Structure 1
Amino acid sequence: MRKLIWLILLAGHVTLAQDRYELNSGWVCAAIGSLKATGEKISEASYSTKGWMPATVPGTVLTTLLNNKKVPDPFYGMNNEKIPDIYKTGRDHYTYWFVKDFTEKAPAGNQQVWLHFRGVNYSCDVFLNGKKVNSARHYGMFLRQTYNITKLLNSNGANRLAVVVYPIDPVGNPNGGQGGDGTIARNVSHQYVAGWDWIQPIRDRNTGIWDKVTIERTGSINIKNPHVITKVPGVREPKGPQEPAQIIASAELENPTAAKIEGVLQYQLDGQTVKQPVTIEPGTVKEVTLPAYQLNNPKLWWPSGYGPQNLYAVRFQFLQDGQTVTDEETVTTGVREIQTTWNTTTRSKQVAVNGQKIFIKGGNWIISDAMLRFSDQRYDAEIRYHHDMNLNLIRVWGGALIERPEFYNACDKYGLLVMQDFWMSGDCNGRWVDPMKSEDQWTRRKYPNDHTLFLQSVTDQVKLVRNHASLAIWCGGNEITPPEDILRPMKDSILPALDGTRWFVDYSNSDEMSYNALGGNGDGPYGIQDPTHFWEHRTFPFNSEVGSVGVGDYESLRRFVPQLNMQFPQYKLKKVDSVWEYHKYIGYDQYLDPYGEPKDIADFTRKAQVVNYEQYRALAEGFSNRMWDWYTGFIIWKTQNPWTALRGQMYDYYLDPNACLFGLRNGSEPVHVMCNPTDGMVTIVNNTFEEQRNLMLVVRFYDHSGKDSFVTQVLTYIEPSSVKRILSVKELMTSLAKSKGIFLSLQLLDDKKQVVSDNLYCIPDELGIHSGLQGLGHAGLKVKANSLGKGKIEVTLTNGVTEPVAFFNRVTLLDANKKERVLPVFYSDNYFSLLPGSEKKIVVEYDNANAVLISVEGWNVSPQEVKVQ
């Protein structure tokens, strides 16, 4: 629905009616091969579109076909094999006309109407009311289009827009290589659509009008690409009054009329107005920089875990003759400054925000949905999950795209810094000799075909997202630099001119980021590892990709694995079901067996969750243990899947979290107590800017009957952003664990006896087997659930004094009628254990109007459902 805003100045001058709306419904489409008419004819109202298929815009051809039940769900089972691939069908098969009828009257006077496309993949011609709009065909997935359609609108207000969208060329051979045969990278587009080691090929290569289409009405001057730079000198603290920050703002002003126009460009911030008189010549675009402004006592923006995410709305306006507002744009930004220095101890880059060094705990992000079905709600949920994992950075991988403003909005909100790659990958762009590629390394090194288009796209996309507080790092490409004649302009002219406030690293595992003294590629490993590996094996000091497994639980698998294929992998027999292989299963190998050889698929997924938790807790702890000594940061490969893959994910495609998320959440706590499994050293990590005083460290062991062996209680403290080693429990732990294993409980309490950090390790016996855990007695856990208001429930779990440890419990929110999981849901903790005589409260947050139930189950806890009081 259109949102009409009438702005009335106090001086009595009435502004133009500001009007901007999205064309996101009512589209129809047809394959190009089914039509013989020209674009001029199709875009006339008299041309019949009867029988055309309803189209999804924003969306792709494949999305439209799926929504019209013309193809099966490519995310389920082997369905993707039933959909024709563009490499075999030819490009015309997925070349489509898209038509939209809309109402917009031709404006009077100097009023202007603009048509905006935020993303079309890959090339297109645009027609309106019988006339061609673009003089030459548009190319490029990452290049916005804007057309002044004022003179093309019909006087009666009834208009027809027709767009023919052509797929990329070449489409690439999906031969099983990373990016298929690599030729997909000849285009300025995303590369994963030809297939990767975590996804099968997207059959139409995501052809379509994939991002927003909007209509905007302005006066004689159109404000474009407003830009806000914030400078925060000195070393700041999140609390207390602040020294001033400096604001530098600019915008482009377009004058499409035949007359010279004089006026004032201004912006409003925190109740103040900054102005700049300006004259714009006819038919020109002029960039205008306003006077620098000192913002007193600013409310600063901080990464998650370090301080609040304060945001400011900056409203730009152009006042013709200083009186009538012809256009306005609002930018939401945060006041903060990103700095980087070289840490000579670790030999890697160190990131700071507002003068304070940040230990980077990050996740690699591909894209929200492989078929480009984006939504504000999904972005918000996914970024919140990353926030809930106690991460502070997301790296957007170079085989995908410059993420959408809605993604950045969520990162701004939740405090996730962003490392944004450009569209390069070592796999496709020639870093390695690769027999799967159709062209040699030197040829691939010159991709894409059109370097000018690449640079135009860089310019455009930088302008699209540069105002976001969360954007911290630009990266030339994934594991490779762009060709020299692309890299140099980006690094030396485009980014300094359009931004100039962020670190640009030439490629993701560059020596400039992390000195590669150990050999290899500078990242990894990627598979499952013994938890001790993360503690004792030194990897790259700012590791851009390091990861492990990520299979979901039984309910997660049921969503996309047919019942006949619910056959768990058998490591000893080297047997993996075909659907599991198709969905890129990565093996758990021998790491499940210490918990008991899996009996069936449900048992396999249950034990996989224990391993998931242990893997990612150990990863976070191992890196944190060597903070500022070996490491300045790590970025997990990877934290999410945009497809139903079976590897590298903290939650599944359907936004159902698995134990990876909560193991990482525990290990990445801002203040965390942990134990090195090799030397038994109990250590505290402080990832905040504040000294933590009057902490009480409590160390206990529990056997499998619940008997407590108290070890010690130590009053301690820890400096800001530091690691402190307290004591070793190695000798006692080895002795107690010898026959059946043991539980090690570590707790940090503050001076009010509130739990700051709670960490429980399940230590195996001398053979490395969890023999005691396999025979753990039943725990009679008591559960209560109380509503805290709309969309919020508090679950209280109590374990009796005489009970054993209630091990590895999952709380789940169910629809009370369907008895299915509500998704997405956010849990303050999950996959947790309760000691004898302890109580734990879990807060569950969700957005669902239906009646709900709480379900609880655990390793040695019987499943139960509880009504919400």
Structure 2
Amino acid sequence: MLQATPLTEGWTLRHEGDALPAAVPGCVHTDLLAAGVIPDPFLGRNETEVAWVGRRDWTYERELPATNGHEQADLVFDGLDTVAEILLDGRVLGRTRNMHRAHRFDVTGLSGRLSVRFVSAYAEAEAVRGKVGERPGAYAEPFQYLRKMACSFGWDWGPTLVTAGMWRPVRLERWSTARIARVRPVVTVEDGLGRVELAVEVERTRVEAPLVVEARVGGERARAEIDGTAGTVRLQVPRPRLWWPRGYGEQPLYDVELTLLHEDRELDVWRRRIGFRTVELDRRADEHGSGFTLVVNGERLFARGVNWIPDDPFPSRITRERYRERLRQAAGAGVDLVRVWGGGIYESEDFYDACDELGLLVWQDFPFACAAYPEEQPLRGEVEAEARENVVRLMPHPSLVLWNGNNENLWGFRDWGWEPRLAGDSWGEGYYLGVLPRVVAELDPTRPYTAGSPWSGSWEHHPNDPAHGTHHSWDVWNREDYAEYRATVPRFVAEFGWQAPPAYATLRRALPGGELAADSPGMLHHQKADDGNGKLRRGLERHFAFPEGDFDRWHYLTQVNQARAVAAGIEHWRSHWPRCAGTVVWQLNDCWPVTSWAAIDGDGREKPLYHELRRVYADRLLTLRGRALVVVNQAAEEWTGAVRLRRMSVEGAVIGEAEVGFRAGRRAVAEVAVARELEPVGAKEFLVADADGLRAVHFPAPDRDIPYPRPEFDVSVAPGAVTVTARTLVRDLLLQADRLDPEARADRGLVTLLPGERVTIGVSGWRTPDPDAVRSALFCMEPHR
């Protein structure tokens, strides 16, 4: 039987002649941090103090344990970041140049001092650039010249921390006769029958040995012979329970076990979990253009999505528990689709396992983003090899429903001035329209592939044409008011978003000492977007009087603006289902403390946007659009009822009201006309719609023009709860629980109360309830100062 020995202990890292203890999996930065050689790059402006790390070469060393006792011994690296030379007592075993692949080296009968030497990623990228020529990109750093996590080189939300190291497990595998090299599971469902086809490849030490594979799944068993180094075993599971996205059904998973046998002696075992479901991507043309609708088990979906970035600049620090916490947060916000963005990595099995269990659909980008990528060697061969490895590695996961060729590169070629600069040089089109669709079609024919995001489906249309395929909406954040989201109805919005700073306690930890200010050196260092603070200011000034010199008010208003902006887009686009078939918010998470588009900040704290997503991504939603109330019902049951419409003054008087019945079918949208006499007029009036505990509020004027009354409310405090009772209109009330205690969390975000209404906010992690502290942690709209 194959024996695997983890090689996690006993490593050292060479630094200026010294040998520092090293953790594997890990990276140079985390080892230097643990040894006290570098400061925490997340704090203050320390990021710049550690930039030298990415410019150095590094060596890891340890003794290789005995390799005897079997016919073959392999040294296996699941992930080397990135350009490495592997030596044993000075003898070169091999070289690597791809972070996204595993590597295996024959060490049969060998022993001695094992060294893994990493070349600076900068040096390698610059060498490749010198060989293949300059290629344009959205950022100056040379990430497109090597197969490494692009955002290691910084992004408009991330630090520049160029890593090196053994970022995934290392082990010694010893085996005899044969081992399982690869299993490619093709899982299909047809006419109530689940089919599992396991294509098996083996590696042998003895060519003549007869081999058999035996597989089992769902109580069914099957056997097949191995002809040379390959074979296929097929199983059928009658009436399998279908795997569904969250909100559409359950997520049953089936254990699959495949055993390699020689004369009934077990040689190796492969185990995974699978789910039975079908997935299609409907891109048919219609009167609006051409669609982009995911269909799972025959059910057409409006995808309620978020974009996912690597949750840490040092991915080896992301534990199974951390993946699950972050993805449970996503599910708790009503999310049913997570897009793994192309500037990051193929995530670990822990990520996809959690998505399988939580019913989160996964849209997986291949790792290409925001640059022209050379198609010459040494990159081309690495791209195909990594694609083949990772497609097969991730195939068992029912949550994975879409392969995407790249992020914004087709768009960049057309609109960002790349085409004339390239002058005919390769830029990645051959990957996105050639290599990658061929690999997916050959290895994973059950899943759809799209060439990029955004992508209109062909060069006949602009790559970012909202009427065709996927669309990225960034003109709004960069240049316009978020009201402009309502000007178009894209077929599928794969990226859009609005910035806000992280939670107060996160900023306090990241920027210790002194007073916080929006334009302080520390705050500006933790704002990576081009003119980010300028865009935040202009976005505020369209709606509010800018709070000059008042950091607390600036912090609150930017959080409000972020939540309102994203909600404006989602409410509008959901109201146009099925023409628009999905929104994927940029972004769910942050990898460090930073002002960004995230709903969950770099310390894992939920911003008001997170709670707003819970509202606008719920199965049922009310939204006011022009002279209509739109009733959005994504539930499996019909929704019927009556909506109470009230035209009100900001002083709290009801100017007019009506009760109107509605009926929205399952997974459908319905409209209710708003009578003209209920339409609010001027800045002193607003419209409220209530039905089944849900509310929509429409103020026709920007906040800066609304004569809000001075908010008056009563506050009562009990263990784990804060209750606020309004005596006036209280708009966008927010309890920033982390101001009470860094560990405290509130269970809701922004809430608008009419006079006489109350809300109870659950608060966890609050050690010493203090009514006076609660008052200072509550924010809402106030009269202009």
- TM-score of the aligned structures, taking structure 1 as reference length: 0.77
How far off its partner does 1:583 sit? 7.0
1:326-405 alignment, distance < 5 Å: 326-343=267-284, 344-346=286-288, 347-372=290-315, 373-405=317-349
CA distance in structure 1 between the partners assigned to 2:382 and 2:522 by the alignment = 44
Count of matched residue pairs: 743
1:747-766 alignment, distance < 5 Å: 747-749=690-692, 755=693, 758-761=694-697, 763=699, 765=701
Aligned to 1:711: 657
* Residues 71/378 of structure 1: CA separation in 2 closer, same or farther (3 Å cut): same
Aligned to 1:547: 497
CA distance in structure 2 between the partners assigned to 1:602 and 1:376 by the alignment = 36
CA distance in structure 1 between the partners assigned to 2:464 and 2:386 by the alignment = 36
How far off its partner does 1:656 sit? 0.8
SS in 2 for 1:290: strand
Aligned to 1:534: 485
Residue pair 1:364, 1:545 contacting (<8 A) in 2 also: yes
Is 1:312 the counterpart of 2:254 in the alignment?
yes
* Residues 519/279 of structure 1: CA separation in 2 closer, same or farther (3 Å cut): closer
- From 771, 782, 787, give the equivalent of 2:707: 771
Tell me whether 577-586 or 726-735 shows the greater mean CA deviation: 577-586
Residue pair 1:695, 1:717 contacting (<8 A) in 2 also: yes
SS in 2 for 1:262: coil
Tell me whether 264-273 or 827-836 shows the greater mean CA deviation: 827-836
Is 1:458 the counterpart of 2:387 in the alignment?
yes
1:586-601 alignment, distance < 5 Å: 586=533, 587-592=535-540, 594-598=543-547, 600-601=550-551
SS in 2 for 1:472: strand
Is 1:615 the counterpart of 2:615 in the alignment?
no
Residue pair 1:225, 1:252 contacting (<8 A) in 2 also: yes
Q: % of aligned pairs identical?
A: 21
How far off its partner does 1:143 sit? 1.8
How far off its partner does 1:261 sit? 2.3
Is 1:506 the counterpart of 2:428 in the alignment?
no
SS in 1 for 2:210: strand
* Residues 527/97 of structure 1: CA separation in 2 closer, same or farther (3 Å cut): same
How far off its partner does 1:650 sit? 0.6
1:779-798 alignment, distance < 5 Å: 779-785=713-719, 798=723
Aligned to 1:69: 36
* Residues 508/384 of structure 1: CA separation in 2 closer, same or farther (3 Å cut): same
Q: What amino acid is aligned across from residue 24 of structure 1 in structure 2?
A: T
How far off its partner does 1:506 sit? 1.5
Q: What amino acid is aligned across from residue 699 of structure 2 in structure 1?
A: I
Q: C-alpha deviations, 1:172-213, integer Å up to 9, x for none?
A: 5999x95643643121223233333333422xx212112222
1:675-714 alignment, distance < 5 Å: 675-676=624-625, 679-688=626-635, 690-700=636-646, 704=650, 711-714=657-660
Q: C-alpha deviations, 1:308-347, integer Å up to 9, x for none?
A: 22222211112221x2222112112221121012242442
SS in 2 for 1:335: coil
How far off its partner does 1:487 sit? 4.5
Q: C-alpha deviations, 1:488-531, integer Å up to 9, x for none?
A: 65245422222111111112112118954986995222554544
* Residues 249/699 of structure 1: CA separation in 2 closer, same or farther (3 Å cut): farther
Residue pair 1:615, 1:663 contacting (<8 A) in 2 also: no
- From 743, 746, 759, give the equivalent of 1:821: 743
* Residues 681/715 of structure 1: CA separation in 2 closer, same or farther (3 Å cut): closer
Is 1:100 the counterpart of 2:41 in the alignment?
no
SS in 1 for 2:157: coil
Residue pair 1:783, 1:797 contacting (<8 A) in 2 also: yes
Is 1:414 the counterpart of 2:358 in the alignment?
yes
Is 1:147 the counterpart of 2:93 in the alignment?
no
List alignment gaps of at least 5 residues for structure 2.
411-426, 780-785
Aligned to 1:728: 674
* Aligned-residue RMSD, C-alpha: 3.6
Q: C-alpha deviations, 1:350-370, integer Å up to 9, x for none?
A: 211111111123222221212
Is 1:275 the counterpart of 2:230 in the alignment?
no
Q: C-alpha deviations, 1:245-297, integer Å up to 9, x for none?
A: 22222222222x235222321222122222213354xxxxx232112x33223
Aligned to 2:165: 208
SS in 1 for 2:362: strand
Residue pair 1:477, 1:506 contacting (<8 A) in 2 also: yes
Q: What amino acid is aligned across from residue 589 of structure 1 in structure 2?
A: R
* Residues 68/701 of structure 1: CA separation in 2 closer, same or farther (3 Å cut): farther
* Residues 101/609 of structure 1: CA separation in 2 closer, same or farther (3 Å cut): same
Residue pair 1:223, 1:251 contacting (<8 A) in 2 also: yes
SS in 2 for 1:588: helix
SS in 2 for 1:309: coil
SS in 1 for 2:388: helix
Q: C-alpha deviations, 1:615-651, integer Å up to 9, x for none?
A: 121121011111223x222322333222333121111
Residue pair 1:671, 1:686 contacting (<8 A) in 2 also: yes
CA distance in structure 1 between the partners assigned to 2:738 and 2:140 by the alignment = 44
Aligned to 1:658: 607
How far off its partner does 1:770 sit? 3.6
CA distance in structure 2 between the partners assigned to 1:811 and 1:195 by the alignment = 30
How far off its partner does 1:21 sit? 5.3
Is 1:832 the counterpart of 2:751 in the alignment?
yes
CA distance in structure 2 between the partners assigned to 1:857 and 1:741 by the alignment = 33
Q: C-alpha deviations, 1:70-127, integer Å up to 9, x for none?
A: 222222222222224468xxx5x2x22212357x5545355x5543211112222324
Aligned to 2:124: 170
Q: C-alpha deviations, 1:369-404, integer Å up to 9, x for none?
A: 123232212222222222223222222222222222
CA distance in structure 1 between the partners assigned to 2:762 and 2:777 by the alignment = 21
Tell me whether 112-121 or 137-146 shows the greater mean CA deviation: 112-121
Tell me whether 447-456 or 701-710 shows the greater mean CA deviation: 701-710
Q: What amino acid is aligned across from residue 401 of structure 2 in structure 1?
A: A
Residue pair 2:195, 2:237 contacting (<8 A) in 1 also: yes
- From 127, 133, 151, give the equivalent of 1:192: 151
CA distance in structure 2 between the partners assigned to 1:170 and 1:388 by the alignment = 42
List alignment gaps of at least 5 residues for structure 1.
1-15, 35-50, 154-158, 235-242, 281-285, 430-443, 750-754, 786-794, 865-869
* Residues 497/656 of structure 1: CA separation in 2 closer, same or farther (3 Å cut): same
Is 1:673 the counterpart of 2:600 in the alignment?
no
CA distance in structure 1 between the partners assigned to 2:706 and 2:203 by the alignment = 70
Is 1:125 the counterpart of 2:69 in the alignment?
no
CA distance in structure 2 between the partners assigned to 1:762 and 1:561 by the alignment = 38
Aligned to 2:733: 808
- From 400, 422, 425, give the equivalent of 1:471: 400
Q: C-alpha deviations, 1:412-434, integer Å up to 9, x for none?
A: 22222222222323x421xxxxx
* Residues 313/838 of structure 1: CA separation in 2 closer, same or farther (3 Å cut): farther
Aligned to 1:228: 185
CA distance in structure 2 between the partners assigned to 1:172 and 1:371 by the alignment = 23
Residue pair 2:631, 2:672 contacting (<8 A) in 1 also: yes
- TM-score of the aligned structures, taking structure 2 as reference length: 0.85
